[in-house]
Amino acid sequence: MTMLAKVLELDQRAPDVSQPERGAAYQNLYNQVHSEHDAIRNSYGEARKRLDEQKFSEALAICEEYLRKYPGHALFQP
């Protein structure tokens, strides 16, 4: 996220006038990554909540869902 934010900042400071669509592409990529990052963070919070409620199968289902999308993601490892 930090690197993408820096790319956006640099593009805003000195846009590529020969390829102005690049700025929009960078912004779209940032928006997609940011949205998925938020979804991961929220799902992790939900999984932790389910663990606290001792709803282990629900917590495991959330973790498995994100591990299918992002194998090896540290937040969702059992």
Question: What are the residue boundaries of the structural domains of the chain, listed by start?
Answer: 29-71
Q: Residue 17, by phi and psi: left (phi above 0), alpha (psi -120 to 50) or beta?
A: alpha
Q: Which tens digit of pLDDT belongs to each residue from 3-36? A: 888 888 888 888 777 777 888 888 888 899 999 9
Residue-level pLDDT at 21: 82
Residue-level pLDDT at 26: 84
- H or E segment and range at residue 55: none
Residue-level pLDDT at 23: 80
For residues 37 and 5, give the distance between their C-alpha atoms in angstroms, rounded to a whole number. 13
Residue-level pLDDT at 58: 96
Residue-level pLDDT at 78: 67
Global pTM reads: 0.72
For residues 24 and 3, give the distance between their C-alpha atoms in angstroms, rounded to a whole number. 16
